[in-house]
A and B are shown apart, each in its own frame.
Chain A
Amino acid sequence: AQKVTQAQTEISVVEKEDVTLDCVYETRDTTYYLFWYKQPPSGELVFLIRRNSFDEQNEISGRYSWNFQKSTSSFNFTITASQVVDSAVYFCALIPISGGYNKLIFGAGTRLAVHP
């Protein structure tokens, strides 16, 4: 089976707390891409990061960081010093090569609420 699991349905934090959103994926493919998207209350989907299966380097972009571990099939997303503007639904997604790159498989999403 090819799937993405985001076990945390909702997370609530207070501003300035660090928060990690978990993403576990399943695929038989050795070549695949992983993504994170943000969906703010306005509804649009905002691309955050793309990572291919051959690149296990962790990435940091400002307050955002991503930890990709093939050994545990996880691609977790951490927000440091969270802010109210980070409140959104976050989706992790997978594109396996066996779908000819045509299938983008989304997790169910994690709703993050950051309170002042």
Chain B
Amino acid sequence: EAQVTQNPRYLITVTGKKLTVTCSQNMNHEYMSWYRQDPGLGLRQIYYSMNVEVTDKGDVPEGYKVSRKEKRNFPLILESPSPNQTSLYFCASSLTTEHREKLFFGSGTQLSVL
């Protein structure tokens, strides 16, 4: 089944404790991206990747890192999480960078930073 898999689904952590949210897609998609969803703000793009070893900042990259060592995986790393990073995070992928194909979203990761 074609899908984007995020883990974990829920995560509670404390300020400053490094964490990684994993994202994997099985559709051989070139394009992957991370979004955070906050009430009243919709979804905002954190980082995106057009292909292996090609990543770039979105609108709200501060406090986040990503890597794209393999085509299928695009982990989101919070080196020193802070409470303002408490949010619902979505990973997404599409076949090409042109977005003419629809964007496939993961199920989301609800992160709480205490």
- For chain A, what secondary structure do more than half of its interface residues adopt (helix, strand, loop), or is it mixed? loop
Query: Complex formed: what's the CA distance from A9 to B58 in Å?
Result: 25
Quick one: CB contact mask for A89-112 with B, threshold 8 Å, 1 for yes?
001010100001111101111000
Query: What class of interface size applies to chain A in its complex with B?
Result: 20 to 34
A45 on the interface (CB 8 Å rule)? yes
Q: Which residue of B lies closest to A52 (CB)?
A: B100
Q: Which residue of B lies closest to A92 (CB)?
A: B42
**B99–A44 touching, CB < 8 Å:** no
Q: Which 6 A-B pairs have the closest CB atoms?
A: A106-B42, A45-B105, A106-B43, A101-B99, A108-B42, A47-B102
Binding site for B on A (CB under 8 A): 4, 6, 9, 33, 35, 37, 43-45, 47, 50, 91, 93, 95, 100-104, 106-109
